[in-house]
Structure 1
Amino acid sequence: MAAMRSTCLALGLTLWAAAPAAAQTSPTLAADRAQLASCLQTSSGAASACIGSIAVACVVAAGANRQAAEAGCARREEAVWRERLVQAVQQSGRPLDAGQRSRLVALQMSWEGYVAQKCAFYAAGQREGLQPGRQAGCELREVAARALELERASRPQAPARRPSQPPQIIR
């Protein structure tokens, strides 16, 4: 699955004008997208607090069969974060020349491989019944954190303020 994501991501990055591969129009995805946007808007600078908000609500709604719902709920939220990640990578690549875009694609593909290995390793240390949910949860957290990192990096920076006085050198 990670190899497929990397291939799709590379294709999406190569075709800069194309819509993100994860851009779907299902009612559930649209509702999840709106819920995440609302959380991010109200989180007042602590965007990482929104990671897991959709998955946790989904697992709670599963009732007694929570363990079986973990992987599906995590993948459901990951789809929303992955959309944001692909958009953030595309945004990051727009001002770059072709060589730098190629490096960005290579970096992102390496990151995807790292996440796949990290989360598979983490899941392998869990009891067999917990592995799918734990791996999906790990991938969700990693994708969300990467999306937030790239979104922060691509925001316009305020111009640096000049100090009112030159710095004092203390000896």
Structure 2
Amino acid sequence: MMVTMTRLGILAFGLLAFGLAAMTAGGAGAQSARSSPELSADRMQMVSCLSQSGTAASSCIGSVAVTCVRTASGDRRAAEADCARREEAVWRERLTFASVAVMRNADGGARGQFAALQVAWEGYAAQKCAFYGSMQPSARVAGMQAGCMLREVASRSLELERMVGQRSPVRRPSNPPSIIR
């Protein structure tokens, strides 16, 4: 049984690594095309919004994208899609860090479940956003899909960040009770 759990733990970690690679693949292209100062500014804007939002962290979803669209010139629809992907890159980084923290705090069986859950979640989000995009006129597909992925990734990131924040370390008593025989 121990060998199976060890193999399961290795499999779970592999699945999570694969899932994280798949999750960050969409954001990686956007990040590589962006300059480091721009990405840093987006991160700082998100951190600022989250620190000011208190318990309403979901109110920050879209904050980078909205600012980006307002300052963009040219085709508004293209800007909406590009700006949504730009913010999604920031949320995907946060999602990756939160996923690693969940894996670090979980035992072998829970790691396997979490890895499978993340892979399934990524598939669900991709299918959901493709469906929503397919329901739109062709000129709006890219923007609707990008906006949907932004919301899905941001929501999942916040969910995992809450989960990690709620987990408290196990405290050992300074004077453990002794068993009297």
Superposition TM-score tier, normalisation by shorter sequence: 0.7 to 0.9
CA distance in 2 between partners of 1:130 and 1:146 (Å): 24
CA distance in 1 between partners of 2:15 and 2:42 (Å): 22
Which aligned pairs between 1:91-102 and structure 2 lie closer than 5 A? 91-102=101-112
Give deviations 1:26-75, integer Å, cap 9, x for gaps.
11111100000000001121100000000011111114521111111001
CA distance in 2 between partners of 1:157 and 1:98 (Å): 17
2:99 is the alignment partner of 1:89: yes
Structure showing the higher helix proportion among its residues: 2
Which aligned pairs between 1:1-171 and structure 2 lie closer than 5 A? 10-11=17-18, 26-63=36-73, 65-156=75-166
Aligned alpha-carbon RMSD (Å): 2.5
Letter of the structure 1 residue corresponding to residue 51 of structure 2: Q
CA distance in 1 between partners of 2:115 and 2:68 (Å): 33
Task: Give the TM-score of the pair, scaled to structure 1.
Answer: 0.77
Which structure carries more relative contact order (alpha carbon 8 Å, separation 6+)? 2
Change (3 A) 1:61 1:39: same
Letter of the structure 1 residue corresponding to residue 107 of structure 2: D
Change (3 A) 1:141 1:8: farther
CA distance in 1 between partners of 2:91 and 2:74 (Å): 27
Instruction: Give the number of aligned pairs.
Output: 146
Instruction: State the identity %.
Output: 56
Change (3 A) 1:96 1:44: closer
The answer as to whether partners of 1:85 and 1:147 remain within 8 angstroms in 2 is yes
Does the residue aligned with 1:94 lie in a helix, a strand or coil?
helix
CA distance in 1 between partners of 2:138 and 2:91 (Å): 27
**Segments of 4+ in structure 1 off by > 6 A?**
none
The answer as to whether partners of 1:88 and 1:150 remain within 8 angstroms in 2 is yes
> Highest CA radius of gyration, 1 or 2?
2
Give deviations 1:91-120, integer Å, cap 9, x for gaps.
111122233212211100000000000000
Letter of the structure 2 residue corresponding to residue 43 of structure 1: S
Does the residue aligned with 1:126 lie in a helix, a strand or coil?
coil
CA distance in 1 between partners of 2:20 and 2:136 (Å): 34
Contiguous gaps of at least 5 residues in structure 1? 1-6, 15-20, 159-171
Task: Give the TM-score of the pair, scaled to structure 2.
Answer: 0.73
